[in-house]
Amino acid sequence: MNVHVNGNCIGCGLCVNMCGAVFLMTEEGVAAAKDTIYPDQEGFVQEAAESCPVSAIEIDA
């Protein structure tokens, strides 16, 4: 699974609160995804993507 946070991110932090093992806030105040996603994290990543208010989380299986 590859995860990318696109330019739509508004920095609300929802993804970080839902799945801090994968998402982090950058110095610019927007979210970013870590490079390594483990299989046991995939469900949390999917849930964060579905909850993102601006659909900024892109997932490539």
Q: What is the value of pTM for the model shown?
A: 0.93
Q: What is the pLDDT of residues 18-41, one digit of tens each?
A: 999 999 999 999 999 999 999 999
Quote the pLDDT of residue 49: 98
Cross-strand partners of 25: 31
Q: For the chain, which residues make up each domain, given as ranges? A: 2-60
CATH number attached to the domain at 2-60: 3.30.70.20
- Per the prediction, the chain carries an average pLDDT of 97
Using CA atoms, how far apart are residues 4 and 21, in angstroms rounded to an integer?
14
